[in-house]
Structures are given as C-alpha cells and as structure tokens.
Structure 1
C-alpha cells in the first residue's frame, strides 16, 4: 500500500473518531435523552427532524463504526499482504481496534442505558482508540522519525514528564466528564475554590478531583514548555506541540472558570468539552514524538543576536503593517454594527484578539513559505530565512498566538466572533498558504476571503450575528485583494518566478495581469457606490467614495496603459491607502 494512501486512511480514521467523540459530547451534555443507542433507535430518532440533536445522535455510532471498519481493513491488509507493520504501528492498530470492539459490545449490551460509570468507560475507550490510531498513523510518517538537537538528559525529562501528563490529563478529562453528569450540583459551585462547603453530591468528589488534577497538570505543562523551548528549539514537532499544549491547557482552565461563573451555558460547556479532546490529541502527538529516536535531524544555523533583536524578530513575524490595516476594517465593522462608538472594553478585547489572530496566521504563513522566502529578494530578510528565529520557534509562536486569540475572543467577546476569527486563520493558513498559493494563479482571488473576514469579526463582536452590511464589507476587501497584490506581483514577478510561485504575471503574462487589475478595480469602486444607493450608507460616504474611487481607477488605468514597474508600484501603494481611507469613511459616515 502506498504511503500516501496509508496516510489518507489513518487520517480519515482519526478525523472520524474525533467527530464521533465530539458528537457524543454534544448529545450527552445538551440532551442526554436523545442518545442514539442501540443503533436501531436511530431509525425512530431520524423521524423527528424538528431538532438537530437527533441527527447528531444518529451520526455518533455510525462514525465510530466506519472508523473501526477502516482501521480493521488497513490492519488486516498490511498484516496479510505486506507484513511491514512496525512495532508501534502494530500496537496502535491492535489497541485501537480492540477498544472500538469493546465500545461496540458495551453499546450493544447496555443500549440507551449508558449512565454514570458505564458512560465514563464508553468515553475512556473512545479516547484510547483515538490515541492508538493517531500513534499508528504517525509511525508511518518520516517527519515523525526525526528527533531534535535536545540532549539526552532533556529528552529523558520530557519523555517521563510527557507520559505523566498523559495519565493526569486522562484522569482530568474523565473527572471533568463526570462533573458534567451533575453540572448544577451545589457542591464546589464556585471557581477556582468551592463556595458551597463540603456537602458533596454523588459526583462532588469528581469535581474536587478535577480541580486538583488541573493544578497538578498546570505544573507539568509549565515544566514541559520551559524544557522544550530551551532544548528543542529546532524540532518542528515537539516545540509547536508543547506550546499548543500550554495554550490549550490555559484556555481550558479559563473556559472552566467562565463556565462555572456564568451558570454552565451550553455553548461554553460544549466548547470546554471540545477543547479538552484537542488538548488530549496534542499531548498524544507530543508524547509519541519524544519517545521516537533517530540519528537524523533538521537543523538550521541561528544567528547570534541580542534579545532585543530576537524580540523585534517575533514582532515582525506578525506583519504589523498588514495587521494595522486589518484592525481598521475590524473596527469599521464594530462601528457599523453599533451605529456609533462601540463599548471601549469590547473594542479593546476584539482588536487585541484580532491582532493576535492575524499576527499568528502571518507567522504560520512565514513558516510555510520559509524556503520560498529565501529565494525572493523581498522576503529574504524575514526572521526565519534570515536565521534569527528557527522554523520551529516561528511555527510555535504562530500557533500560540492563534489559540490565545481564539480563547480571548470566546471568553471576553462571544463565541461567534471567536469562530469567525478561527475560520479566518484556517482559511489563510490552510486554504491559501498550503493549497492555493503554490497551485494556481487564482490564489489571490480565492484566498482574498481570508483577509475579508476581520470586518465580519468586528460586526459579530457587537451584534453577535451577521447581516447584509457586514457582507458588503467582506465583499469590498474580497474585490480589493486581487488588484492590490497583482500590482505587487508585477513589480516582483522575477522574484515569484524564482521562488516557483504561480502568480498571475508569471503564468499568464504582464498584459493579462494589467487588464485584470483594471477590471477588478472597476468592480471594487462600483460596489462601494452601490452601498449608498441601497441606503446602507449616507451621502458623505458617497462623496468620499467617488473621490477615492476616481483616484484608484486612474492609478489602475495607468498600470494598464503605461509599461514598466513604476505605475504598478504606485498602484500597490495607493490601493493600501484606499482601503484604509474607504473604511475610515464608513466610520465617519456613521458618526456624523
């Protein structure tokens, strides 16, 4: 079996099991009566489409069944036909298949009467299966066979610390799930300390144990973070995983406190449950990684610089100029939603979280583009290709900033805002950077949606919904992105060609690019003028949009009619100013 196919199968099994665990959480925490077991109950549940819970209940056993079938199939195939299973892969397959079979037998015998300790056993088996199949899949990846430059002493500490954390986190997860069985109990109702004395209910001891285990895990996670940043600076798996683990854990603690103090709101309960599974999976990857030995290592020479220079390098990873422009669009969304000056506290947390989200995504993007950046004159002095920061450190910082932004927005603003920011980060990193940018000259067109999400974040922060004016803000940035970046691509076309990035001037030529810049500019200006006609803005914005739009069209016309790089570079600079000014015009139009 080809390695690519094997990776896809293992990846599918892990994703299916993740969805199975999450769907089980949703059903159990939101409406336990709808739990779809045995499977025959699903037929009757699906006959009541008035709520989405029955559909999730029906999915839960089906996802686990398909995951188990795929796991059994790949295990038998590799054992009978190839006989090439490594000890780790064999262990993962046997453990994963066994736990899923035990889960199936438990569901068959208990039916829809899974309660209390039997329910905890069901969850425990699901987590073990998830970990086992994850380890089996990772064991076939060459990148996970590469250990970093850590000394043996540090490697030993990280190994045993990671294994201890794995068991503590497992107990933490189970005790937290037990707390969910009686979430409204007066026992230990405050946070972080109990506010109701020691009159524990049936599950009160689980609640107390959960918080004590959280304290123990906090010490372990802190130690892991310190050791890995000191000894694993070049390991692109261990360092980012340990950093993500620390942020996920702190986010979990914060969510737990907010959940208790806000009366166990369903969205917070679900997010708390979902996050612990992400934490568990991250820890499983980290522990597996540090127990693998290999004589090979990916190394990069690091410049010896002062701590001030290194701190500045981390700041530059955020692409601060772009972040500032995105914050202008975010604030505009807030002003339009509030129809005035939004609350100062809400504004601070929204803009702070938005800056971290955009900066973190930019850092991950620079990690992905590190080899291409070395070949481009414009980007060769960025922190990672310049050797000031290792790729692992850049990736770890980016992941940390993204997760901090998500938790900050979810706790201090609202869940919709956090999910929109997360969608923007995934769009930029996954869809644009990993998929579109190296694959098609239309990368900027489709990828422009990532930069268009910040005004939606601003609107959702105030209104906790999305309406038509917010979609117009999204469309403005979506249409602005291609002419802005194509103008830069005209100036730097040799750079992009040398780096192997299929930008439009490199693939279809300069003249086609110039025409497309002019066409998109006309569409952009027309869209801004449409907003006053639909009574979405006032006459002041119409006047400003006419002036700014006329100037931008003239700059695009010069790019179309005049050869050379100078008009294109002027278009690039002017389009940046145009976006900032057109959004500021929207703010002024609302306030005056």
Structure 2
C-alpha cells in the first residue's frame, strides 16, 4: 500500500469513527430531550417558533434547538462519509452498511419532526429511539468491517510452556526477618486473595443501582451494609478463584506470584478464609433483605464455580457469559433499596454485561501468550487477534446502545448524557488506535480507557440520580 492510499484509508476510518460518535451523541441527546419534555418548547419544524436563531436563556428551548442543530450536523457528516465510501476502495458490505444508515436517517428526521409538532402516542418515542439505534448499528458495523484486516491470524497452540516463562515450581522466596515481617507478608497475601482491584468498580456498580432506585432519598445505612456485604462477597469469590486456578496460575507470567500459586497461603487455610468471607457476606446481606442475600450468594457461586470451573477453561465465550457475575451488583444495589428488581436495574446490568467483553478482551490481547500457556481458550488464543479486536469494537457499540437505553428508562439528565458521550468517544478512539497499531501498548491503552469509561459513567449515574 502506498503512503497516499494509507493516508486516505486512515482519513476514511477517522470519518467513520467521528460519524459513529456523532450518531451516538444524537441518540443520547434525543433520549434526554424526550425525557425532559424539552421538545414542547419548540412545537414547529424545522424553524423553532418561526425563528432560526433562538435565545438561549430558556433551558428547554436551548435543548430542543440544540437537538436539531446536532441532527443537522450529524446528517451532513453521515452523508459525507457515505459519499466518501463510494469514492474509496472499501469493502462492499461497508458501503451497504453506510447506505442503510444514510437511507434510514431521513426517516429518523421525519419521526423527530412528527414528535415535535404533533401529539404522538407513548410508543412513538420508542420507535424514534430504535431508528436512531439502527443507524448507529449500521455505522459501527461499517467501522468494524473497515478496520478488519484482509488476512487474519490463526489460533495459538494452548498448553505450551515457554522455556523462558514460569514453571510448575513456585519461585523461591527469602524467609521473613521476624514475626512482625512474617505477619505483614501473610496479611498482605490474604488481602491479595480477595482480588481487591475488582472491588472499587463493582462497588460503584452497586452504588449506581442504589442511586437509581432511591434517588436523593438513599439512606447511608443501606449503602454501608450493601457495600460491606459486596466487598466480602467479592473477596470470597476471588479467594475461591485463586484456589481453583492455582495450577494454571503457576504457568502464567501474570499470575505466577499469586499467594495460592506460590504456597504463601496453605490451600486449607485459603479455603477456610473464603468460606468465612462468604458467610460474613451473607450475614451482612441478610441484614438488608433476603433478595440481596440470594443475589449475593448467586454471584459467589457463579464466579467461583460456573465461571472459574466450567466456562473459563472450556469455552471461548467464557468472558461473554462470565459478564453475568459482574452485572449482578447492579441488581443487588437496586434490590437493597426496593426489595425487588426493576427495569432500570436490568438495563444497568445489561450495560455491565456488554461492557465486560469490550473491556476484558483488551487484557486478553495483551496477555495472549500467557493465556495460551495456561490453557485458557480466550478469544485471541482460539480465534486470533484480528477477530478479538473486531469483537472489542462490536461490544463497545452494544455497550453504548445499552447506555442510551438507560437514559430512556430513568430520570438521568445531562451530566450522565455528557459523560457517556465524552468517555465513550475516548474509548472508541483507543479501540480504533488498537486496530491500527495492533500492539500490547495499544491493548493496554484501550483497557484503561474502558475502565475510565465505566467508572465515569457510573459516577455520573450516582451524582445525577442523587444530587441533580
């Protein structure tokens, strides 16, 4: 490929990525506009009350007019990208996906005009949102197929031990100098068994569930009890995972120094520790309500048994199905307030479920050889890196769609909308760079962006639901 053609290809990819962000912005802004009933301030179309320039001192009028300005800009961007696809040497399915989005866009505009100028039934807003989502799907598919390389890499042989990697023998450790040092090291080893890095994000998921359910009426006692039980249940699940995977952990550079793999903690003691954490977790959850305790127990069993023993070593879809464990805190948080499960909690759980592959596949790319050495059938090991990168983008698109649905089923406002769009754009940018650079640094960049996206969105949910 010549330098000029490579530059042209990169330019088209950037145009596609910008179009995807633009369409997603329009979907979120449209859903927020409908939720706040801002369209009533501008009941004519296309001009607003006969004016093409409106005063911005009226918030609802500014929102309604801003929605139309964004729709015009995105329409022009989508049209320009579709025309550009006809002038570039792109795959046929890329052109077809963009043509689908471009043809559907005028229909979406008509739906928006009808919603603004006439009295429509409640289901009409759902049709309008679904059309916007369909346009977004078309653009994301076009981007995924554009970034997909002509030739793909194949699977990696699993279970092959790198002569330079770890062996089945744990590393030799020097003996502690004294009792205090020994106690410190042992205490830290038990702490590591609990997988503390998972705690902050999963607790934030539960906090978002509680905030959506209670709003500004959220009680401190409910938060403390729910998060305490959550930390204990995560610790129990992590401990059991360390114990059950200790033999495979010894073969992987990333995990060879884990406490169970290096015999820092005797297996009998680790199991007892995990059971104690599980019992304490259920005790705390029962002080909230029975449903929370049942969901907490389900989370422990699913992660420790279903994911660790059944899914992770046996199927390439382990990360996808395993996302169910990460989504349960959303239901736990909602149930802690309502003693039930509502639609907003299910949608929030769906966001977490779809985000999990888009997040973890980046780590699987970075540690592909490690997972192959450990015998885990991760996506890049079984289907290759190119296919994994494509799935990162597709699951990111699905995550963004689910995030827009959350706007439609809750009272979340502009803080959530702006956060979701801004951090979603950053996440998408890193994924596009991952497709271009295809190295470990790019995978880690996308991995960290996924963490930043979800953390920021969940924090926005909490603040928007409680304080705004």
TM range (shorter): 0.5 to 0.7
CA distance in structure 2 between the partners assigned to 1:477 and 1:309 by the alignment: 34
> Which residue of the partner structure matches residue 449 of structure 2?
574
**Alignment partner for residue 417 of structure 1, among 273, 292, 310?**
292
Q: Which of the numbers 181, 191, 197 marks the counterpart of 1:321?
A: 197
Tell me the CA shift for residue 572 of structure 1.
0.9
1:550 paired with 2:449, answer: no
How far has the Cα of 1:327 moved from its partner?
0.7
Counterpart position of 1:483: 358
Match of 1:340, SS state, is helix
2: CA distance between counterparts of 1:330 and 1:521?
Answer: 21
For the pair 1:382 / 2:258, whether they are aligned, the reply is: yes
Partner of 1:34: none
Whether 1:402 and 2:283 are equivalent positions in the alignment is no
Matched, 1:495 2:370: yes
Q: How does 1:271-310 map to 2 (within 5 A)?
A: 304-305=175-176, 306-310=182-186
* Deviations 1:108-155 (CA, angstroms, capped at 9, x unpaired): xxxxxxxxxxxxxxxxxxxxxxxxxxxxxxxxxxxxxxxxxxxxxxxx
Unaligned stretches of 5+ in structure 2? 1-168, 177-181
Give the CA deviation at 1:561.
2.6
Task: Output one character per residue of 1:73-103: Cα deviation in whole Å (capped at 9) or x when no partner.
Answer: xxxxxxxxxxxxxxxxxxxxxxxxxxxxxxx
2:155 is matched with: none
* 1:328-477 → structure 2 map (5 Å cutoff): 328-340=204-216, 342-410=218-286, 412-477=287-352
Q: Contact 2:344–2:409 (CA<8 Å) still a contact in 1?
A: no
Q: Give the whole-Å Cα distance in 2 for the aligned partners of 1:463 and 1:302.
A: 52
Aligned length: 293
Alignment partners' CA distance in 1, 2:237 and 2:309: 12
8 A contact 1:332–1:586 mirrored in 2: yes
Q: Which residue of 1 aligns with 2:49?
A: none
Write the distance in 2 (CA, Å) between the matches of 1:427 and 1:561: 36
Instruction: Measure the CA separation in 2 of the matches of 1:466 and 1:527.
Output: 18
1:511 corresponds to which residue? 386
Distance 1:473 1:378 in 2: 31
Structure 2 residue matching 1:453: 3-state secondary structure? helix
The 1:564/1:401 distance shift into structure 2, 3 A limit, reads same
Q: CA deviation at 1:573?
A: 1.2
Counterparts of 2:227 and 2:406, CA distance in 1: 25
Whole-angstrom distance in 2 between the partners of 1:577 and 1:398: 30
Is contact 2:315-2:377 (8 Å) kept? yes
Could you tell me whether the CA contact under 8 Å between 2:208 and 2:333 is conserved in 1? yes
* Separation in 2, partners of 1:441, 1:501: 8
Match of 1:564 among 435, 439, 444: 439
Counterpart contact for 2:212–2:410, Cα < 8 Å: no
Displacement of 1:544 in angstroms is 1.4
- 1:300–1:390 contact (8 Å) kept in structure 2: no
Question: Hey, what's the Cα distance between the residues in 2 that align with 1:460 and 1:532?
Answer: 20
Larger radius of gyration: 1
Determine the C-alpha separation between the residues in 2 that align with 1:393 and 1:300: 18
Are the counterparts in 2 of residues 368 and 433 from structure 1 also a CA contact under 8 Å? Answer: yes
Shift of 1:394: 1.5
Separation in 2, partners of 1:359, 1:553: 32
Q: Deviation digits for residues 343-380 of structure 1, max 9, x if unmatched?
A: 12221111111100011101100101101111111111
Q: 1:512: Cα distance to partner? A: 0.4
Distance in 2 (CA, whole Å) between partners of 1:366 and 1:452 is 21
What do the CA deviations read for 1:308-337 (whole angstroms, capped 9, x no partner)? 110111111111121111111111111111
Deviations 1:546-580 (A, max 9, x none): 11111111111222232211111111111112111
Which structure has more RCO (C-alpha within 8 Å, separation ≥ 6)? 2
CA distance in 2, matches of 1:413, 1:340: 19
| CA-CA distance at 1:342 after TM superposition | 1.9
Runs of at least 4 residues of structure 1 off by over 6 A?
299-303
- CA-based RMSD of the aligned residues comes to 1.8
- Matched residue SS, 2:344: helix
TM-score, normalised to structure 2's length?
0.61
Is 1:526–2:389 an aligned residue pair? no
User: CA offsets per residue over residues 420-446 of structure 1, 9 Å max, x none?
Assistant: 111111111111001000001110000
Q: Would you say the 8 A contact 1:302–1:387 is kept in 2?
A: no
> Alignment partner of 1:384: what SS?
coil
Name the CA distance, whole Å, in 1 between partners of 2:394 and 2:171. 46
Q: Is the Cα contact below 8 Å between 1:332 and 1:583 reproduced in 2?
A: yes
- Contact 1:302-1:388 at 8 Å conserved across structures: no
Structure 1 residue 534 displacement after superposition? 4.1
CA distance in 1, matches of 2:172, 2:213: 47
Cα distance in 1, alignment partners of residues 406 and 290 from structure 2:
29
- Residues of 2 paired with 1:557 and 1:539: CA distance? 27
Q: CA 1:508/1:301 → structure 2, altered by over 3 Å: closer, same or farther?
A: closer
| Secondary structure at the counterpart of residue 537 of structure 1 | coil
1:488-532 per-position Cα deviation (integer Å, ceiling 9, x unaligned) = 010100100111011000000010000000110111112112222
